[in-house]
Amino acid sequence: MPESRLPNIRVWLLGALVVASLLMIAFGPVFLDRFALNVLSRSMIYAMLAVTVDLLWGYAGVLTFGQAAFFGIGAYATAMVLTHLGSSPELLLLAFVLAILVPLVLGVVVGWLSFGYGTTPLYATVISLVLPIVVTQVAFSGGQWTGSSSGLVGYATLPLSLAGYFRLTGICLLAVAAAAWIFVRSDAGKVLVAIRDNEARCAYLGLNASRIKIALTAVLAGVTGLAGFLFANASGVVAPENTGFVFGTELVIWTALGGRGTILGPVLGTIGIDYLSASLSGQLPFLWKLVVGALFVAMIILLPNGLAGLVGKILPRSKGSRGEGGPLRQAQVMQVPQDVVDKPPLLTIHDLGKSYGSLNVLQGINLTVQPGELVSLVGPNGAGKTTLMRCLSDGTESISGSVSVRGANIAGLAPDAIVALGVGRKFQVASVFDSLTVAECLRMARAARYRPSLVHSSQELDLPSAAVEILKLTALDGMLDRPVSALSHGLKQSLELTMVVALEPQLILLDEPTAGLTKTERMTIGTILKKLTGELGLAAILVEHDLDFVREISSRIVVLHQGQLVLDGTVQDVVNSELVKAIYSGGAHD
Partner 1 sequence: MTILLDVITTAAILFVVAAGLLAIFGVLKIINFAHGAWLTVGGYCAVATTGMGLNPWLALPVAFAVGSALGGITEVLVVRPLYRRPLDAILATWGLGIVVGQLITLWFGRDVQFTPNLLSGTINVFGLDYSFYRLFMVLAALVVGLGFAVLLEGTRLGLSARAVIMNETLARALGIDTAKVRLTTFMIGTGLTALAGVLLTPLTSVDPDMGLAWLIGAFMLVMVAGSSFGALAVACLVFGGAQTLVSTFVSPVLGGITVAVLCALVLRISPKGFARA
Question: In angstroms, what CA-CA distances link 482 with 192, 321, 586?
Answer: 19, 9, 46
- Contact between 91 and partner 1 by CB under 8 A: the answer reads no
Those residues with Cβ within 8 angstroms of residue 267's Cβ, 6 or more apart along the chain or in another chain: 47, 50, 51, 173, 177, 258
Least distance (Å) from partner 1 to the CB of residue 247? 13
Taking a C-beta distance cutoff of 8 angstroms, is the pair 476, 237 a contact? no
Q: What is the total count of residues that contact partner 1 (CB under 8 A)?
A: 37
Stretch that binds partner 1, among 31-39, 292-300, 451-459, 561-569 (CB under 8 A): 292-300
200 binds partner 1 (CB under 8 A): no
| Binding of partner 1 by 137 (CB under 8 A) | yes
Q: Is the separation of the CB atoms in 233 and 158 below 8 Å?
A: yes
Is 189 within 8 Å of 443 (Cβ atoms)?
no
The 3-state secondary structure of 197-262, one letter per residue: HCHHHHHCCCCCHHHHHHHHHHHHHHHHHHHHHHHHHHHCEECHHHHCHHHHHHHHHHHHHHCCCC
Q: x/- binding map, residues 43-72, to partner 1, per CB under 8 A? A: --------------------x---------
Query: Judged by CB under 8 A, which stretch of 16-24, 284-292, 425-433, 465-473 contacts partner 1?
Result: 284-292
| Smallest gap from residue 302 Cβ to partner 1 (A) | 8
Q: Give the residue, chosen from 25, 104, 292, 542, that forms a contact with partner 1 under the rule CB under 8 A.
A: 292
Q: Is residue 110 within the footprint of partner 1 (CB under 8 A)? A: no
Among 119, 157, 348, 363, binds partner 1 (CB under 8 A): 119
Q: Select the span of 32-40, 132-140, 460-468, 537-545 touching partner 1 (CB under 8 A).
A: 132-140
Q: For the window 230-249, what string marks contact with partner 1 as x by the rule CB under 8 A?
A: ---------------xx--x
Nearest CA-CA partner of 558 in 402, 427, 368, 409: 368
* Residue 491 in the binding site for partner 1 (CB under 8 A): no
Burial class (CB in 10 A: 0-12, 13-18, 19+), 551: middle
Q: Are 152 and 237 in contact (CB under 8 A)?
A: yes
Given candidates 126, 171, 219, 276, which one binds partner 1 under the rule CB under 8 A?
Answer: 126
Q: Which residue stretch of 23-31, 67-75, 209-217, 287-295 sits at the interface with partner 1 (rule: CB under 8 A)?
A: 287-295
> According to the binding rule CB under 8 A, does residue 16 interact with partner 1?
no
What is the chain's percent helix, strand, coil content, to nearest 5?
55, 15, 30
* The one segment of 73-81, 121-129, 266-274, 557-565 that binds partner 1 by CB under 8 A: 121-129
How many angstroms separate the CA atoms of 244 and 28, rounded?
Answer: 31
Q: 103 CB contacts (<8 Å, ≥6 apart)?
A: 70, 71, 73, 74, 221, 222, 224, 225, 228
Cβ distance to partner 1 smaller for residue 216 or 352: 216
Instruction: Figure out which of the listed residues 39, 158, 253, 413 binds partner 1, where binding follows CB under 8 A.
Output: 253
Candidates 442, 414, 509; CA nearest to 206 is 414
Binding of partner 1 by 87 (CB under 8 A): no
Give 1 or 301: the residue with its C-beta nearer to partner 1.
301
Tell me phi and psi for residue 86, to 5 degrees: 125, 180
Please select the residue that binds partner 1; options are 300, 315, 334, 582, rule is CB under 8 A.
Answer: 300
- With CB under 8 A as the contact rule, the residue among 60, 252, 436, 517 that binds partner 1 is 252
Q: Indicate which single residue of 159, 304, 412, 516 sits in contact with partner 1 (rule: CB under 8 A).
A: 304
User: Between the CA of residue 566 and those of 46, 145, 421, what are the distances in Å?
Assistant: 65, 72, 29
d(CA 342, CA 353): 27
Residue ranges binding partner 1 (CB under 8 A): 63, 113, 116, 118-123, 125-127, 129-130, 133-134, 137, 140-141, 245-246, 249, 252-253, 256, 286-287, 289-290, 292-294, 296-297, 300-301, 304
